[in-house]
Copies of this chain bind each other. A is one copy, B any other.
Amino acid sequence: MEREKGMSRRDFLKISASLGAGLAIGASGMAAIGKAVQPAELAIADNGGLTTEERIPMYGEHQAGIVTPQQTYMYLVSFRITAADRAAVIRLFRDWTKFADLGTAGSSMKSGSNPQLPPSDTGETLDLPAAKLTVTFGFGSSLFLQDGKDRFGLASKLPLYLQDIPRMPRDNLDPLMSGGDVCIQVCAEDQQVAFHAARNFIRLSTGSAAVNWLQEGFISGGGGKTPRNLFGFKDGTANRLHDTPGGYDSVVWAGDGEPDWMRGGSYMAYRKVRMLLEVWDRSSLADQEDTFGRYKESGAAYGRKEEFDEVDPSQLPDRSHVRLAKETKQLIHRRGYSYTDGVDPRTGNIDAGLLFVSYQRNPEEQLLPMLKLMQSRDALNEYAVHVASGMFACPGGLREGEYIGQRLLES
């Protein structure tokens, strides 16, 4: 049924034409569709060194960008929907889906044949391949209910655990950098490719949504090694514990009891954690290692030899980060990035830290107790401040022809 309501490639082209200029489709699996439309509306984008390996399929049981191995760059864009009704939301989500389809395939909407119109693509990736671009959509609780108001008739489809992260003891949140009706996570191996997608989602939202915030992050492509955060410690070692299909089912993918559209989805939690680098850099190696409960260079937990050796919490300092993380006996799937936002003009200190991003099937059980425990007792609190927050329900994966949120908006 959803399939029938789905957006066909032909619809897709019609929508595109209505956006203002001709649509160009790259040599990326859409050539067959190309033949069905006017040649004047089409041009083949030559995206240079495009290779299959550089593309991450957008369609499947789950959205890409969740258990996809981390790419080097991430942009998060948060929107508030300003559209008046559900039909306008649907138009926006269709346009976004279309753009995501093109971008993840390494194609571009191109200039088109009418120079008197704005180009249908901003153009900065004309020469660039897909670069493992993934686009992951999530919905905030305010899309369903805002100040008690059921804005788009979606309140009955609120997923089980979707709520803003409750206020934590040491929060120092900037509301302008937190939350949102929709959050789009864009990741790629090329920052320009990632930004291009974020920027065009913003462009396509004109009249239907406004940007709340836009945040960029990076990790270092260490060739399969666990990346290090800006404290110099490996970050994400515990992801290895659930790195199997069964592990993802038990840790990441939402299921039983969830509304249909949320099955195979996941909850994305976001915390922008500013790291007080100047304070950290003046603390001793022993203090730093005690704070995590791991050795800095090897990443092994105290009392162990290697990074992936099983952690024995009894060997770790009471308030150490890793010991507390173990205390709740819960797993989450981490997908964090570092950020550097220049210098804080008030203090002259570096404004940098961690964009903590985690995915889990049940944040109430898996994440919130962990977060609360850490914010009360974690030795890291001396060196870090949580400055922004968000929680988003990411729907299950798309079939080709479907648009993001279709099962939520149309069923």
Which of A255-263, A327-335, A338-346 lines the interface with chain B? Answer: A338-346
> Which residues of the other chain, B, contact A281 by a CB distance below 8 angstroms?
118, 122, 203
Can you list 22 contacts pairing A with B, beta carbon distance less than 8 Å? Answer: A111-B285, A115-B285, A117-B285, A118-B282, A119-B288, A121-B232, A124-B220, A124-B228, A125-B228, A176-B345, A191-B218, A191-B220, A192-B219, A192-B220, A195-B230, A195-B352, A199-B352, A210-B348, A211-B343, A211-B348, A212-B343, A213-B343
State in angstroms the CA–CA spacing of A221 and B122 once bound together: 18
Across the interface, do A277 and B199 meet the contact criterion of CB distance under 8 Å?
Answer: yes
Which of B123, B225, B348 sits near A296, CB closer than 8 Å?
Answer: B123
Q: Determine whether A190 belongs to the interface, using a CB cutoff of 8 Å to chain B.
A: yes
**A135 → B minimal CB distance (Å):** 17
> Which residues of the other chain, B, contact A193 by a CB distance below 8 angstroms?
220
Across the interface, do A112 and B285 meet the contact criterion of CB distance under 8 Å?
Answer: yes
Q: Determine whether A18 belongs to the interface, using a CB cutoff of 8 Å to chain B.
A: no
Within 8 A of B (CB), among A67-118: 72, 75, 110-112, 114-118
Q: Determine whether A350 belongs to the interface, using a CB cutoff of 8 Å to chain B.
A: yes
Across the interface, do A228 and B123 meet the contact criterion of CB distance under 8 Å?
Answer: yes
**Copies, count:** 2
Q: Determine whether A21 belongs to the interface, using a CB cutoff of 8 Å to chain B.
A: yes
Of chain B, the residue at the smallest CB distance from A290 is: B115
Across the interface, do A213 and B112 meet the contact criterion of CB distance under 8 Å?
Answer: no
Secondary structure of the A contact surface, majority rule:
loop
Across the interface, do A284 and B216 meet the contact criterion of CB distance under 8 Å?
Answer: no
State in angstroms the CA–CA spacing of A342 and B283 once bound together: 31
Mark A271-309 against chain B: 1 for CB-CB distance below 8 A, else 0.
000000110011111101100000011000000000000
Across the interface, do A286 and B116 meet the contact criterion of CB distance under 8 Å?
Answer: yes
Q: Determine whether A254 belongs to the interface, using a CB cutoff of 8 Å to chain B.
A: no
> Which residues of the other chain, B, contact A350 by a CB distance below 8 angstroms?
199, 202, 211, 214
> Which residues of the other chain, B, contact A127 by a CB distance below 8 angstroms?
220, 222, 225, 228
Q: Determine whether A409 belongs to the interface, using a CB cutoff of 8 Å to chain B.
A: no
Q: Determine whether A128 belongs to the interface, using a CB cutoff of 8 Å to chain B.
A: yes
Within 8 A of B (CB), among A336-366: 338, 340-343, 345, 348, 350, 352
Across the interface, do A124 and B190 meet the contact criterion of CB distance under 8 Å?
Answer: no
State in angstroms the CA–CA spacing of A178 and B373 once bound together: 43
**A153 → B minimal CB distance (Å):** 27
- Whether A340 touches B213, Cβ cut-off 8 Å, given contacts A127-B225, A232-B124, A285-B21, is no
